[in-house]
Amino acid sequence: MALLDLPIELLAALPPFLHNIEDFTNAASSCRALRLGFSLVEPPTILQLASRSAPTFFSPHPWFLVLATARQVSDWALGDKTRTQELREAFQGGMQGLLDLCFRVCGITMDDIRRLHLARFSLINPLANKLDQIAGNDWYAAEDFWNGGVSDAWTVDCHPQRAAFQIMIYWELFGSTLRAFFTPELNLPKFDLQTRLDFIKYCIPDWICDGGYPGFEVLPVGPYHPDAKEKEKLPVDQVALHHILSGGRWERLWKAARAEVGPDFEGDWRQEMWKCAFLSFGLESMEIVKDVKITSNVDKRFLVSNTIQPDPILTVAWHQRLSEIRGQIARLDAVTQKPLTTVIGIGRQNRVSQAPNMGAETYLCMARFF
């Protein structure tokens, strides 16, 4: 019996034995029988085949595939204590540990792969280019850098593409938690602060975070394990992210889009939630600023025009979505519905909201630097 004489169900069982996703796509395009059989393959199998093609086709690895599955693993764990604990343990294995959990509980389709590869050019690469202008080599190349050429000159070791993935993955994981704070009457499930801090500690490692500080525990696991390869040369990714997320250029990148929906809030907690709301859709959020230009407050053109982006930024769909969110934040009761805060640290203490805020939480992880 020839291969193509096999029943469709048996042909559909072949892909787990293929070498990688290239073999899968090549075989599926070779004839009608294999195309039909392979169309029945489950998403977890496609994810495993994709992982065997990384990092060639899914770089940077493992960040690209984690981004592809982060929302799935978040939905899988949200509201379940046992699964949330599994997720925290996966975080402690670093980004590879998180990807290993995604392999067990997630999957992707070929349509997902096509969509993500289109997003690489339309959203991911433009975001990385913007971060390069905020804290990368492009930023350092500004004329008179140390003498007023930029408003926030500092020594930062930033890898813009990696930082872009870190920001998007955080919000793919925890964006639904932030949005749950907008409608407290629904009592939607949320990831707590410690779960989110575990992600930043171990999946965005930094030598400054290694060992923690009084009142802030960092375990010697994952990238901080004494025998870990990364331990020898830990990056300073938390410092880079703090510089990006607290800097003026990042603020100006989003400011005009916020203004199209309505004025900023007076009062720190509502304004912080409003700023984070724009990021809370992860990869999708980057559609908002894909065409917005990075500006410096010492840019003469910016000062003359007194505007960041003269043309409308938001599509009608985004304007409607964000207007609804702004209304939800505005209606929150300042006494009964304001997110609670937690004090972290002994001696040196920092207060942080229970609502997700990547910038504030990153600062906690590297607070001993300051």
| pLDDT tens per residue across all 370 residues of the chain | 677 777 888 888 888 999 999 999 999 888 988 899 988 899 999 999 999 998 888 999 999 999 999 999 999 999 999 999 999 999 999 999 999 999 999 999 999 999 999 999 999 999 999 999 999 998 888 888 887 778 777 888 899 999 999 999 999 999 999 999 999 999 999 999 999 999 999 999 999 999 999 999 999 999 999 988 777 789 999 999 999 999 999 999 999 999 999 999 987 899 999 999 999 999 999 999 999 988 766 444 444 444 444 578 999 999 999 999 999 999 999 999 999 999 999 888 899 999 999 999 999 999 887 7
pLDDT for the residue numbered 113 = 95
pLDDT for the residue numbered 92 = 97
pLDDT for the residue numbered 297 = 60
Q: Do the beta carbons of residue 214 and residue 345 sit within 8 Å?
A: yes
Q: What is the pTM of this model?
A: 0.93
pLDDT for the residue numbered 295 = 73
